[in-house]
Structure 1
Amino acid sequence: MIKKGRIESITQLLDPLGAIKVRTQFGGYSLSVGKAVFAVVSQGELYLRACEASKPYLCERKLQTLQLQKRGVPVRLDYYRVNETLWREPEQLLAISRLCLQGAREHNEQSKQARGMRDLPNIGHQLERLLREAGIGSVNMLRAQGAKASWLKLRALNKHLGLNTLYALEGALSGFYYQALPGEVKAELRSWYETKIAQLERERCR
């Protein structure tokens, strides 16, 4: 059982980050500002949630990762335990915690955008993942690119993507499941696709 005073001392130290909420999680407690969970307290130890910006600092200090048991199998989470050295550097600890909080906020925003993408017709988890890999991470970005330009970016990552993916993207933007796209739209897309495939093949053979 974690003593209440331990939680209070941690939240007081991190108070400059904002109003910290404490909830039960992972058999311990999660720390969040708003809806962004940036740390957990497990067995009295503070673990910071790594992100792209904070991970180099956390790994450089060779901090221990949080490990939980899932169905009897140990699972390591991307949370790093604050050691005694870092506790003795409260300003540095606060700076790294701020990076973790910002990373958690960015993760939440990306997840929100991804959910928005998957609300579109034809956009399942796999296509949403490919779009993100191609740098198209939101509905607005997909609309700005358009179906054809988005398909070209996806095709650059996966040469096996074909006409149905182009139909799926156009349907997502126009509100149709790709099977229900109007015939004239499909015909125009097919013509463009065949021309573009021929062009790509010529470039490959050069």
Structure 2
Amino acid sequence: MDNSKRKIAEAKQRLAELGDVQSRTQFGGYCLAVEKTVFAVVAEGELYLRACEQAQPYIVERKMEPLSLTKRGVPVELNYYRVDGALWSDNEQLLALSQLCLQGAKKQQEERQNNRRLKDLPNMGIRMEMLLRQVGIQTIEMLIQKGAKRSWLLLRSCNKNLGLNVLYALQGAIIGRHQAALPQAMKEELRVWFEYNEQQERKKKREQN
């Protein structure tokens, strides 16, 4: 681990032009990221760059070795390639290749973000995505636009068994949090709204009878 920490410190210094390089544990080693975009990994004292389309020709030409981990007894190659001594000694080439890998990682991140579905949000899943689509909420943008309360009312019109937890789940999905991690004030406001809505529903039923 000492070798890895030394390599991280050196990499941060050598790649400072990329921005504020941060490190955290990942893959049994450490990942390096700029603005939360991971572009490299340090494992067992070695630096591995995340492959991308633009960097692939260099990786093939230099025959860079992939990072391999053992998962359930089976070796698995990751999309990260080792920076050998020659590349590590070439500051200009190392920085240029790292820049390509960072740009490629950002592009992949943006593509994943743009292609996200309702099921990919916190608290959702395939079943909730199907229910939302049944009431006309097809995309993340539509869910955010309608808000948790209107979305819950639409779902409730088709399924009378939906309760307060679904309302919490919808709000959490919109703000990107697990429903258990919603701020207490937000949960309380939703609970009051839910109980008022329930009272109005019961009153309406009594009047109809």
TM range, smaller chain:
0.5 to 0.7
CA distance in 1, matches of 2:66, 2:81: 4
Consecutive aligned runs of 4 or more in structure 1 exceeding 2 Å deviation = 2-6, 116-119, 170-175
Alignment-mate amino acid for residue 93 of structure 1: L
Kindly report which structure 2 residues correspond to 1:57-206, keeping only aligned pairs within 5 A, or say none. Answer: 57-116=58-117, 172=138
TM-score normalized with structure 1 length = 0.57
Q: Residues 68 and 75 of structure 2 are in contact (CA less than 8 Å); yes or no, is this contact kept in structure 1? A: yes
CA distance in 1, matches of 2:32, 2:137: 41
In structure 2, stretches of 5+ residues that fail to align are 127-133, 144-157, 159-209
Tell me what 2:29 maps to: 28
In structure 1, stretches of 5+ residues that fail to align are 126-167, 181-206
CA distance in 2, matches of 1:66, 1:172: 39
Q: Residues 7 and 47 of structure 2 are in contact (CA less than 8 Å); yes or no, is this contact kept in structure 1? A: no
Structure 2 SS opposite 1:51 = coil
Alignment-mate amino acid for residue 20 of structure 1: V
Q: Deviations over 1:46-66 (max 9, x none)?
A: 000001111111111001100
Identical columns (%): 52
TM-score normalized with structure 2 length = 0.56
CA distance in 1, matches of 2:28, 2:2: 10
Alignment-mate amino acid for residue 96 of structure 1: L
CA-based RMSD of the aligned residues comes to 2.7
Give 1:117 shift.
7.1
Give 1:94 shift.
0.5
Tell me what 1:2 maps to: 2
Give 1:77 shift.
0.6
Give 1:118 shift.
6.0
Alignment-mate amino acid for residue 37 of structure 2: A
CA distance in 2, matches of 1:2, 1:98: 26
Alignment-mate amino acid for residue 59 of structure 2: L
Q: Deviations over 1:144-189 (max 9, x none)?
A: xxxxxxxxxxxxxxxxxxxxxxxx9x984899xxxx9xxxxxxxxx
CA distance in 2, matches of 1:79, 1:95: 16
Q: Rg: which structure is higher?
A: 2
Number of residue pairs matched by the alignment: 133
